[in-house]
Chain A
Amino acid sequence: MDLSIGWAHAGPTILASFLASLVECVEALTVILAVGSVRGWRGALSGSAAAIAVLLAIVAGLGRALTHIPLHIVQLAVGTLLLLFGLRWLRKAILRSAGLIPLHDEQTAFSKNTEAMQRLGGARGWNKVAFAACFQITMLEGTEVVFIVIAVGAGGTGLLLPAGLGAFAALTLVIVLGFAVHRPLATVPENTLKFIVGVLLSAFGTFWVGEGIGLRWPGTDWAIAGLLAAFLAIALVTVPLCSRQAGVAGATVHQ
């Protein structure tokens, strides 16, 4: 660190970057933990690692030119993909909970795929869905962190490094946190986790699309919590409705 800056400037920069990056890293961690628990850790961690590698390559290649890429375009594009991904996942979780999609068949298909991939060698536990979901969320939140570092670091000469250190500290803390909580998460029933992943991806997707098209969310990032609760409520209400609807349709055919 440039000693001429002094801790009076570097300290607040590190703290600001750390706290802002921590929020983004925790958001990514929530999704990565849920996806990893459901679809396997290898795919989830590979997706996150690949996104971090791509981000680092972009940062190294473009540097300050990154500030010229409109963030709302990234938010809109990734948010749309997350929404397509999340609502598709949530729809299947609802139908599964309503007993309209047999869970057992999916497990069999998943086992077959895993066995087939194991026969190909070296790809144990690999899952493209986990890879794609974690790549997207890490890429999006990581892009946010890059922008935070650039914005906080732009406060004065030589502040980019302290800002980077703050973000790195947040990332390290979140990785440690992830390792600590991933085992207790494994005891949660699989279908419940799939439900949660669907809700998470849908809520994050909606939030990022909103940000991308310039909507103002009440409470800024706290709106994600509201979206999570609202999507969860909709999904929970839809499960019994689906069961009833399937029963009514069946009875109509029999008459």
Chain B
Amino acid sequence: MKREDFMQWFRVIFREIVGLFVDDGSLAIAIIVWLGIVWLLLPRLGVFSRWNGLILFAGLGCILVENTLRCARRSGYTESGK
């Protein structure tokens, strides 16, 4: 296999693997950032330590709702613009 062919093959595989987990980049970034905040920031602040599980879930829920509503708005604009 030529080097360019190998690199092309590698890029396709990489894109496929990333595509399994990332569909909308902003959703993936928001999830990672939120996990980072809950993992690294909340324990240092020392607040709500008993409620961290609920905070983790609440943030993820908000991210999901915000992302789908934003997508729905975009979809509404696109549909009416046709």
Q: With an 8 A cutoff between CB atoms, is B5 at the interface? A: no
Other-chain contact of A88, B23, B39, B72, B81 (Cβ < 8 Å)? B23
Q: Which residues of B contact A206 (CB under 8 A)?
A: 56-57, 60
Q: Given A83-B35, A88-B22, A254-B80, are A216 and B72 also a contact pair (CB < 8 Å)? A: no
| Docked complex Cα distance between A39 and B31 (Å) | 25
Contact A81 B21 (CB under 8 A): yes
Task: Tell me the smallest distance from the CB of B65 to a CB of chain A, in Å.
Answer: 5
Which of B22, B23, B60 contacts A202 (CB under 8 A)? B60
Task: Let me know if A84 and B56 touch, CB within 8 A.
Answer: no
Scoring B residues 24 to 49 as 1 if CB is less than 8 Å from chain A, else 0, what string do you get?
A: 10011001100100110001000000
Q: How far is the CB of B27 from chain A (nearest CB, A)?
A: 6
Partner of A87, one of B53, B64, B71: B64
| Docked CA distance A76–B81 (Å) | 43
Contact status A213-B38, CB under 8 Å: yes
Contact B72 A98 (CB under 8 A): yes
Whether a CB of chain B sits under 8 angstroms from the CB of A247 is yes
Known: A128-B16, A242-B68, A246-B75. A209 touches B35 (CB 8 A): yes
Query: If the complex has contacts A85-B21, A202-B60, A215-B56, are A234 and B65 also in contact, measured as CB distance less than 8 A?
Result: yes
- State which residues 107-138 of A face B: CB under 8 Å: 128-129, 132
Q: Does A182 contact B (CB under 8 A)?
A: no
Expressed in whole angstroms, the minimum distance between the Cβ of A124 and any Cβ of chain B is: 20
Are A210 and B56 closer than 8 Å at their CB atoms?
A: yes
Binary CB contact string for chain A from 220 to 255 against chain B (1 if under 8 A, 0 otherwise): 000100010011001100100111011111111110
Q: Which residues of B sit under 8 angstroms from A202, Cβ to Cβ? A: 60, 64
Complex CA distance for A217 and B53, rounded to whole angstroms? 6
User: From A100, which residue of chain B is reached at the shortest CB distance?
Assistant: B75
Closest to A84 in B: B21
A247 to B64, CA, bound (A): 20
C-alpha spacing A223/B57, complex, angstroms: 11
B residues neighboring A (CB under 8 Å): 16, 20-24, 27-28, 31-32, 35, 38-39, 43, 50, 52-53, 56-57, 60-61, 63-65, 67-69, 71-77, 79-81
Known pairs A128-B20, A216-B50, A242-B71 / 6 extra A-B pairs, C-beta < 8 Å:
A95-B68, A100-B75, A209-B35, A241-B69, A249-B74, A252-B77
25 contacts between A and B (CB under 8 A): A80-B35, A84-B31, A84-B32, A87-B27, A88-B23, A91-B27, A91-B68, A100-B75, A128-B16, A206-B56, A209-B35, A213-B38, A214-B43, A216-B53, A230-B57, A238-B65, A242-B68, A243-B72, A245-B73, A249-B77, A249-B80, A250-B76, A253-B76, A253-B77, A253-B81
Which residues of A come within 8 Å of B, CB atoms? 76, 80-81, 83-85, 87-88, 90-92, 94-95, 98, 100, 128-129, 132, 202, 206, 209-210, 213-218, 223, 227, 230-231, 234-235, 238, 241-243, 245-254
